[in-house]
Amino acid sequence: MTYLAPCYRYNDGTLFVNDVNIKDVAKSHETPFYIYSATQIRQNIRAFKTALNSALDPQNYTICYACKALNNISVMSLIAEQGCGADIVSGGELTRALHANVPPGNIVFSGVGKNDQEIEHALNSKIRQINVESAAELYRIEAIAQRLNITAPVVFRLNPDVKAGAHEKISTGQKENKFGLNAEQVMDLYRYAENSAHIMPRGISLHIGSQLIDMHPYDTAYKIAADFILSLRSEGFTPDTIDLGGGIGIIYDREDAPDLAGYAAIVAKHIAPLGLHMMFEPGRMIVGNAGLLVSRVIYIKETDSKAFLITDAGMNDLMRPALYDSVHPIFEVEKSDSQDTKSFDVVGPVCESSDVFSLDTALSADIAKDDLVAFTGAGAYGATMSSSYNARKIAAEFLVDGDVWKCIKRPITNEDLLQFENYTLKSDD
């Protein structure tokens, strides 16, 4: 049996999000759409805090939600209400975090390519820290801080060269990856920063990859990070922060659940004794299993060798299967009375051979046009990676809290997008 998060259940054969019937949402709004459970998001945050608090002093850490996973302002506000900050990777995400009432002092700016405007926005907003990923970036931050006559708080991203076992496209902690600096580079830049009038070095950060179920790579990486902190102290530096990144995975299909208590124990073993303030940046594990992509069957196509189930959702709505060969199990919103099944390749309408959600998938033999289906695990990297490719609309988003649901982002239609284009060559003269 494939995995279905606790916030989803069948009631008299129909799929519900908490106490909301998905069919009721689909009656009044076009598919495809994303639908999220506020209850599940709260439970995921609570589970992470419970694990950390079993091994750490809650006063000594801050959770900064990695909002690249899902940056809808309503969702970010919900997460901020649970006491979380934000890990951002762009000026746009900074703007969203501020609109979501995330305290600037709990915002961390990660990423390798911050431009001048983004750096200035971050410094003027008085965020907690900028995570530096190159010497060139540090010098730009210094120059902008000098022009603004302020001191920029930074930490340096250490690349520990640890293979984390995730898909190669979401591995971030090896020397071949574009992220971070080696230990020698960090040490040199730390020395430089300590002598700068406009840079305040606060410590180091690291992030080794995403969708990690096995906790052993964290054990290796955090030991390296702890040893490096000791090296900084041996030079007389006094770091006060260590940003431990995120990357903890979720169950999409049949994976084991990540051992959150085991993760917390690793942090307690290597990091807590250093007495630094610890930053955690979970994204996927907070929202991933809290979201569905709901779609409608538009055709059943039969060939000599295959049966295709064609949905009105495509790779522009859920990119991960095409990009990472990821699995997002599909559930029928209304169960059939028949026990007979049939094997389908579940595909979308986008004009790409990679627009495939799953192969040889057993579904009800009598599934038909206009039936509703739901793809699980769409809370993370669903809406945020979506696009209008093939001039398709960008799907709406809904949030469910108990028996109440609301649209938190309406669809972005072709008509909306045309407003941004000047599609005539006729002169105004």
Active site residues: 351
CB atoms within 10 A of CB 388: 14
17 closest CA partner among 301, 296, 412, 398? 398
Q: How far is CA 359 from CA 280, 340, 363, 420, in A?
A: 36, 18, 11, 38
> What is the DSSP pairing of strand 307-311 with strand 341-347?
parallel
Bridge partners, residue 301, by sequence? 308
Q: How far is CA 200 from CA 135, 207, 319, 403, in A?
A: 15, 21, 39, 48
Cα 256 from Cα 248, distance rounded (Å):
12
**CB contact set of 155 (below 8 Å; sequence gap of 6+):** 129, 130, 131, 132, 201, 202, 203, 204, 205, 241, 242, 243
How many CA atoms within 13 Å lie on the side-chain side of 6? 8
CB 157 within 8 A of CB 181: yes
3-state secondary structure of 153: strand
Cα 96 from Cα 90, distance rounded (Å):
10
Q: Which amino acid type is present at position 387?
A: S
Phi/psi region, residue 126 (left: phi>0; alpha: psi -120 to 50; beta: rest), is: left
∠ Cα 384 388 389 (to 5°): 110
240 closest CA partner among 278, 206, 272? 278
